[in-house]
Amino acid sequence: MLLHIPSVLSRDDLLHIRSQLQTGEWVDGRGTAGSQSAQAKRNLQIAPESELGRELSTFILRKLGTNPLFNSAVLPLRVVPPLFNRYDVGMRFGAHVDNALRPIPSSGGQRIRTDVSSTLFLSGPDEYEGGELLIHDSSGEQAIKLPAGDMIVYPTTALHSISEVTHGSRWASFFWTQSLIRSQEQRTVLFDLDQSIMELSRRVGADDPDVLRLTNVYHNLLRIWSEL
């Protein structure tokens, strides 16, 4: 499931994050890539273990915790703390697949299974040319370039790339999530059901018998399919 989540960050949030990033130390992005990805990766990142990296990562995690669409679609169990990257003119990231397992920093060696990838755009589409997130699948390529503050979530199994930036600078936050639900198909079913329940509740009330019955179905499916 490919899902656009609007307005994860407010204008004030963006101003705060971007002002902090302006003063940050950017390092070679290949430091967080796997062996295959590093060969195709040309970008800059804020060092994950830096004080700024930890501070801004915590800020993003708090925003995600209160975002109903993200939580409904992803059903997060564990999240790798968000990272921050930058693509200046001439930088790109060739087609690659993200690692199936990733360590959680400062966790004593704990790793997560990467089920869902997320990119949160910190630069507006008028601030750079090129730099599209390209999702490659059997139907071709999907080019994604969202407003600043918006986020795209997609299965980590997808082959993807970042096209070369030809003007300006593209800034974003990105991270991976292990879902309570391993199966992408089951996550999609639960998301569609959850969204339908919420819409029906708005129309007829949360105490309507059909709403209560569907809510029961949702939680029973979550109970059957979830992995803790």
Q: Where are the domains of the chain?
A: 3-179, 184-225
Work out the number of other CB atoms within 10 angstroms of the CB of residue 12.
8
At 113, is the secondary structure helix, strand, or coil? strand
208 assigned ligand-binding residue: no
Q: What is the pLDDT of residue 40?
A: 79
Q: What is the pLDDT of residue 37?
A: 63
Segments in the chain below pLDDT 50? none
CATH class assigned to 3-179: mainly beta
Dihedral (C-alpha) 94, 159, 163, 99: value to the nearest 10 degrees? Answer: -60
96 assigned ligand-binding residue: yes
Order of strands, sheet of 92-96, starting from the edge strand that comes earlier in the sequence: 41-42, 92-96, 159-162, 133-137, 140-144
219 assigned ligand-binding residue: no
Q: What is the pLDDT of residue 122?
A: 98
Q: What is the pLDDT of residue 109?
A: 80
For 21, the token pair is 């990033």
In order, the DSSP letters of 18-84 are HHHHHTSPEEEGGGGS-HHHHHHEE-EEE-TTSHHHHHHHHHHHHHHHT-HHHHHHH-EEEEPPPEE
Q: What is the pLDDT of residue 137?
A: 84
Q: What is the pLDDT of residue 29?
A: 83
- In this structure, are strands 3-5 and 41-42 parallel, antiparallel, or unpaired? unpaired
Element containing residue 103 per DSSP (H, E): strand 101-103
Cα–Cα distance for residue pair 147/124, rounded to 1 Å = 5
92 assigned ligand-binding residue: no
